[in-house]
Structure 1
């Protein structure tokens, strides 16, 4: 008897996955791992160049196929591959390749992995810039944290980025959302049908061995890819305001800052005399997180959920963060550390958590419980597979119901198609001449 053909998945990445450099890379690998565990046939493609810390996908049984922007070679590739599911990582990949997939593989389920709402992150960044221009108060940023959804909508609604991103959500058959807050924003303010959105947060295995105890740890840690603007802003707020407040209370305290792609402007902040150590890239983020006593994540803007804080919970490392850092991460559950709104409260909470073993141990336990309640791979992985299979089986009806998406594909993809073909023709002309 013939065995049924394995489901073919094509993932199109903005970059090649670097799970040791960013939470985004880790999330992509979690999705790919879920597909492999299901026995699916997985191919990963990207128009980006090789990354310094990219994962060896071929060692995992995933084909790596480089692709080009604005080049019809992709049409032949995708036609021959004939995927059943196409996953676009970030909306720009849907813009670039969505129309080609629709044209050559019309029956493929088109899925967009958002990781975070970029238009929300950018709007919040602009709000922070405006606030910094308007006031030199570096302590209290309460007005930036957790505004009403309507305020977020008004920040985003007139931006080109939001219009592009949300149009891509409509054009996709299903969108993987990492943040429940962003789901509510899209549904309640942008009127995106809830049926287009599937909550799929970071998916991890809950540790089965106890993490290192209080007495075996001895410094603070901050970790995050320096190419991600919220992380760089957090380092600046630490350096200029928060860390001096901590050192006033703990004169010998040490802070280790790790991040991939450390720029010269970051290494210039290193000051051993102040206990402010810029450590560059950590080959094993969990190892360095497990050695620290408290994780500091003073995020003044951002979106999605924070991989560094999930890593902290995995390692049993309590943290101090802001409402932006904790957004969509704990639901109605306790937070494994402290959520603060001012630099002074942040510093005081960090010092208290660092010194108080009882409070620290309680926060460690809360973090492990939170992992089990919200982030278990064995819960979210099967839920994702079930949703994808259901959408494959009911694809025609789901697309018919999503008339707005069909309309946007008709108009936007035509313009994208013609622009891409014009660029390709221009490039060919240059080569010929």
Structure 2
């Protein structure tokens, strides 16, 4: 069986949680017997995963080009996965037209419309508007696909209760970890300083660092020894982020980490001060994997763990947040308790063995009789009938325009 993943960007597992999520999903599907093909229109980067070494075939494709159609028919995948709703918009209609019986899956990583609505509401100090333009596009994409993988139960409930998405089109599959993902954790005494991780293409991470500089770090310094430093790692930092680097204030922008877990293992406490966002948070998962107690906010904890599991009540208040960080930093017994709680959360919620067999069975059932799976999905039939065909016609228009331009 052939599986085609169409990716917006080539996966970078050391740069983004989404990149790591993509590879763990592909590993799981390879174990299920699929021959993996990854295609993207993005330019290669020096930080992308070595796909060929991992046993996967990689392909460069073009957007708004019928060359994709010819290649698709030759490959003839049984299963197609889109890693963003925008890739489904660009290529989904072509797959539906040329390979109507292929099973299609959307992997969301997080619900973009929710993340953007929260960001807008936060910045404008207004109510959250879920019925935004992105929601129309994203939910339409979800309805067009046979199955959508969600990493947040909160977002599943939102899609079902607010957007009326049929439950059988949604599947909860969180970040997946195995024993090999954890590392030998350094003890409390061999660690020092605070750390923050997060790629800067992601606006919640940029906001978190600015909030740290303006409000949290000045408060934190009141509660911590004077030698404690704050180190911030993340790929793709822009000028505004790099300008925050200030050694005299013990505030360090460190850039890209070669290995997130190895770097995090040197620090005593991991911070995830997110004020908006969605989905699960790779930076918190990395904290638990490296045995580094993590302090976060309510948004950071969402879809990761409840307060009674974390061992503290996540807070957006700088004073309370700082007290929680200082307690984790200075109290070795509390530090060890938080570390043990993190390991327990990993074992009870994110271990591969908890999810692999059920997901493989679900996928096998759908692919064995895709028409039977689709038959009760009236909204899917409706949306493909009327198609909201703007995506197709816009693509065709761009292709024709490019062809004429080349001929001239």
Task: Please say whether Structure 1 and Structure 2 have the same fold, judged by a TM-score greater than 0.5.
Answer: yes
Give the 5 Å matches for 1:337-356.
339-356=314-331
Q: Which SS does the other structure have where 2:148 is aligned? A: strand
* CA RMSD, 1 decimal: 1.5
1:414 Cα deviation from its structure 2 partner: 3.3
Instruction: Please point out which of 111, 116, 122 is paired with 2:116.
Output: 122
Structure 1 stretches of at least 4 aligned residues deviating more than 4 Å after TM superposition: 207-210
- In structure 1, runs of 5+ residues without a counterpart are 1-6, 135-150
Specify whether residues 257 and 293 from structure 1 end up closer, same or farther in structure 2 by C-alpha distance, changes over 3 A only: same
Distance between the aligned counterparts of 1:118 and 1:83, measured in 2?
A: 27
Distance between the aligned counterparts of 2:100 and 2:360, measured in 1?
A: 21
Alignment deviations for residues 324-376 of structure 1 (CA, whole Å, 9 cap, x no partner): 00001125851166511211111111011100000000000000010000000
Aligned twin of 1:215: 189
Give the 5 Å matches for 1:215-234.
215-234=189-208
Give the 5 Å matches for 1:161-310.
161-206=134-179, 211-250=185-224, 251-310=226-285
TM-score, with normalisation over the residues of structure 2?
0.96
Distance between the aligned counterparts of 1:337 and 1:293, measured in 2?
A: 17
Contact 2:183 2:289 in 1 (8 A): no
Instruction: Please point out which of 79, 92, 99 is paired with 1:85.
Output: 79
- In structure 2, runs of 5+ residues without a counterpart are none
Distance between the aligned counterparts of 1:368 and 1:300, measured in 2?
A: 25
Instruction: Please point out which of 334, 346, 354 is paired with 1:371.
Output: 346
Contact 1:206 1:371 in 2 (8 A): no
Distance between the aligned counterparts of 1:338 and 1:292, measured in 2?
A: 22
Distance between the aligned counterparts of 2:243 and 2:378, measured in 1?
A: 53
1:252 Cα deviation from its structure 2 partner: 2.1
Contact 1:85 1:108 in 2 (8 A): yes
Q: Which SS does the other structure have where 1:279 is aligned? A: strand
Aligned twin of 1:94: 88
Aligned twin of 1:23: 17
Distance between the aligned counterparts of 2:179 and 2:122, measured in 1?
A: 35
Instruction: Please point out which of 89, 100, 110 is paired with 2:104.
Output: 110
Aligned twin of 1:418: 393
Q: Which SS does the other structure have where 2:265 is aligned? A: helix
Contact 2:307 2:314 in 1 (8 A): no
1:97 Cα deviation from its structure 2 partner: 0.5
Contact 1:99 1:413 in 2 (8 A): no
Distance between the aligned counterparts of 1:180 and 1:241, measured in 2?
A: 31
Contact 1:321 1:338 in 2 (8 A): no
Distance between the aligned counterparts of 2:359 and 2:60, measured in 1?
A: 26
Give the 5 Å matches for 1:3-82.
7-82=1-76
1:399 Cα deviation from its structure 2 partner: 1.2
Specify whether residues 121 and 390 from structure 1 end up closer, same or farther in structure 2 by C-alpha distance, changes over 3 A only: same
When the two structures are aligned, how many residues end up with a matched partner?
Answer: 406
Contact 1:305 1:329 in 2 (8 A): yes
